[in-house]
Amino acid sequence: MTEDDAKKIAFLERRVEREKSARRASEFILEEKSHELYHANQKLLKAIRDLEILTLAVEQSPIIVLISDVAGVLEYVNQAFIDISGLKKADVIGQSIPSLGLNIKGEVKEGVRLVINEKLTWKSQITGIAPDGFEYQLSISISPVLDNDNKVAHLLYNCQDITKQKQNEQKIYELAHHDSLTGLANRYSIDAILEQAISTAQRNKTQVSVLFVDMDRFKRINDDHGHKFGDALLQQVAHRLQGICRRKSDYLARIGGDEFLVVLTDTKDSTFSSLTAESIIEVLSLPYLIEGQELKSTPSIGISLYPNDGTTTSELISNADAAMYHVKQNGRRRYSYFTKELNQIVDEKNKIEQELRIALAQDNLQLFYQPQVYLSQERVFGVEALLRWNHPTMGFISPDKFIPIAEERGLIYEVGSWVIKTAFAQQKKWKSLVDVPVKLAINLSAKQIENKQFISDIKGALLIYDIDPSMIELEITESIAMENPDHSIKTLNKLRELGFELAIDDFGTGYSSLSYLKMLPIQTLKLDKSFIDNLENDQDSLKICKASISLTHDLGLRFVAEGVETKWQASFLQENSCDVLQGYYFSRPVPAEQAFEYMQNFDWDSI
């Protein structure tokens, strides 16, 4: 081998070696690149899968999603939008958003401008109209979609269907501000209206009239014909009131069962309110035709005026109420303005109510007892418990005065319960002192009879004081019994089942139906005092008295004469088979100790 050959071989070997190295290097690099590519591919596949999930999620999301370019041309909408808009996907892409029935005007346009310029998210509510005319409401949030250079590339609209929510809100608003039966404003909103009217009147130096309208004897109508009937009547009353008060500045509300409020604003003097009140009386007194039946009811109206009779809503309403109450007590079917005298009456009532609450809390009321002489051979006594209130500074306050106030202000049930407990406690005390128990008569009020709690309350009291109910005679007046005879019969039956004796008080003064009387589970009739008063001078009273005794006995009942003041009356009644005598001739109502003493020392031979 020549030197040249050796060089050539060495050269070729080097070259082959370089080629080999290069090949190995490239293989290694390609292997690495292939791995990189594989991993990149895997990443890409995962990204595609994620994207698919994301696309499906957005597509099926209950939230409405729209994507547009910055000019508002739609690039994507999901199924939720198709569902609510009633449009087809193919018809939507490439269209401008306002052309889809979405109301993108004024405020919304300004919002879109903010999103693009300030890169903010903007929220509001918009309406949309489907091709079939269906109007829907959307809550909308518009936000920018930024590209890699942080520029706004798209707009993303997330919307939620709030059509139902809006409808519910409207319904709730209506319910909160309107009376559902009549559609008139309710107490809550008339307060707001009146408050606004007062401040306007204050500025404009005008007057506001508040008319408190109450339908006379509505309760009776409701009881006799049922609630449905009563409701229909109230609806007609509301309708008639709307017909009368037609000015834009007149407002109507139903604020209680049968209580309506008319607020007349922008009036200069009381002429307009008087005329309105007259019209209301005339129109509401016309017969009502309900379910084919003709029915009559009349309104009583009390009026208070701003600023004379009050400067606040509660003052004006309560004074109009007081004026209405005054009308009720003085003949109904009239209207009356609130007056200074009424003001005094209201003040006095407020005072009595306040003091009565204190008296109840501090146990400052008192029971007096008037003995009842039983003319049977057993020589037993009864007593009638009578409520008395001797106020530390106001002196003796007659029940005739404070009982109606207690009724008006919702205190009568509490007063009645106090009477029952106190009388029961007293009877228990007497029982421990003598062998022969004292029969106790207690007066009940209408509110007690009506109260659903009454039966269980009195049953509880029986247990607490360990009372024999047959020694308790519960008295209700004839008018209370007749006010709602069906209900009275039910309650009286329950009391009778408990073992109480029952009496009808003031018999002869009301309009007792004898057939009803027969149905009442009573044991005693108490003839009204007025008949006894006139026994000596009035032949009619004498005849009525005799007939009543006879009727009572025929019905198998006991006859009690109250208000016996003379020996003659006592003798007459005794001769005519009266069973029980009660009155000043024997004893006035006296404190428990005196009553007891009287009974202990009574000379039975004197009668």
Partner 1 sequence: MKGIVFTEFNEMVETRFSPEMLDEIITECDLTSGGAYTAVGTYDHGELIQMAQALSDKTNTPVEQLVFAFGEHLAVRFSVLFTSFFDATNNTFDFMKTLDNHIHVEVKKLYPDADLPSFSFDDSDASCLIMEYRSSRGLSDLAHGLMTGVIRHYQENITINVEHVVGKEHVRFHLLAQ
Binding site for partner 1 (CB under 8 A): 11, 14-15, 17-23, 25-26, 29-30, 33
Smallest gap from residue 24 Cβ to partner 1 (A): 8
Paired with 209 in beta bridges are 264, 305
Phi, psi of 598 (to 5 degrees): -60, -45
How far, in Å, CA of 377 to CA of 393, rounded? Answer: 46
Q: Which is nearer to partner 1, 21 or 453 (CB)?
A: 21
Smallest gap from residue 146 Cβ to partner 1 (A): 22
Smallest gap from residue 7 Cβ to partner 1 (A): 9
Q: Which is nearer to partner 1, 47 or 53 (CB)?
A: 47
Smallest gap from residue 37 Cβ to partner 1 (A): 13
DSSP state of 438: P
Q: Which is nearer to partner 1, 14 or 151 (CB)?
A: 14
Q: Which is nearer to partner 1, 1 or 90 (CB)?
A: 1
Smallest gap from residue 4 Cβ to partner 1 (A): 11
Residues 392, 427 contacting (CB under 8 angstroms): no
Smallest gap from residue 113 Cβ to partner 1 (A): 33
How far, in Å, CA of 359 to CA of 132, rounded? Answer: 70
Smallest gap from residue 13 Cβ to partner 1 (A): 10
How far, in Å, CA of 378 to CA of 367, rounded? Answer: 26
- For residue 180, give the amino acid letter: S
Phi, psi of 556 (to 5 degrees): 75, 30
How far, in Å, CA of 116 to CA of 304, rounded? Answer: 60
DSSP 239-260: HHHHHH--STTEEEEE-SSSEE
Q: Which is nearer to partner 1, 22 or 45 (CB)?
A: 22
Residues 262, 278 contacting (CB under 8 angstroms): no
Q: What is the dihedral of CA 324, 325, 326, 330, to 10 degrees?
A: 100
How far, in Å, CA of 509 to CA of 511, rounded? Answer: 7
Smallest gap from residue 70 Cβ to partner 1 (A): 25
Q: What is the dihedral of CA 167, 170, 174, 180, to 10 degrees?
A: 0
Residues 373, 582 contacting (CB under 8 angstroms): yes
Paired with 294 in beta bridges are 289
Smallest gap from residue 15 Cβ to partner 1 (A): 6
Paired with 260 in beta bridges are 213, 254
Q: Which is nearer to partner 1, 16 or 286 (CB)?
A: 16
| CA 338 distance to own-chain centroid | 27
How far, in Å, CA of 47 to CA of 246, rounded? Answer: 70
Paired with 67 in beta bridges are 76, 156
Nearest to 70 by CA among 145, 172, 2: 145
How far, in Å, CA of 205 to CA of 203, rounded? Answer: 6
Smallest gap from residue 114 Cβ to partner 1 (A): 34
Q: Which is nearer to partner 1, 13 or 52 (CB)?
A: 13
Q: Which is nearer to partner 1, 24 or 220 (CB)?
A: 24
Q: Which is nearer to partner 1, 8 or 490 (CB)?
A: 8
Smallest gap from residue 148 Cβ to partner 1 (A): 14
Smallest gap from residue 56 Cβ to partner 1 (A): 31
Q: Which is nearer to partner 1, 26 or 513 (CB)?
A: 26
Smallest gap from residue 17 Cβ to partner 1 (A): 8
Q: Which is nearer to partner 1, 7 or 164 (CB)?
A: 7
Nearest to 318 by CA among 266, 268, 267, 256: 256
Q: Which is nearer to partner 1, 29 or 286 (CB)?
A: 29
Smallest gap from residue 169 Cβ to partner 1 (A): 56
Q: Which is nearer to partner 1, 25 or 547 (CB)?
A: 25
DSSP 443-475: E--HHHHH-TTHHHHHHHHHHHHT--GGGEEEE
Smallest gap from residue 18 Cβ to partner 1 (A): 4
Q: Which is nearer to partner 1, 6 or 286 (CB)?
A: 6
How far, in Å, CA of 356 to CA of 367, rounded? Answer: 15
Smallest gap from residue 73 Cβ to partner 1 (A): 29
The answer for 595, left when phi > 0, alpha when psi is -120 to 50, beta otherwise, is: alpha
Q: Which is nearer to partner 1, 12 or 275 (CB)?
A: 12
Greatest Cα pair distance, the chain, in angstroms, is: 180
Question: Strands 288-290 and 293-295, how do they pair?
Answer: antiparallel
Nearest to 562 by CA among 383, 404, 427: 383
User: How many residues appear in the chain?
Assistant: 607
Q: Which is nearer to partner 1, 21 or 456 (CB)?
A: 21
Spatial CB neighbours of 143, under 8 Å, sequence gap ≥ 6 = 115, 120, 121, 122, 155, 156, 158
Q: For 339-384, give the secondary structure using H, E and C.
A: CHHHHHHHHHHHHHHHHHHHHHHCCCCEEEEEEEEECCCCCCEEEE
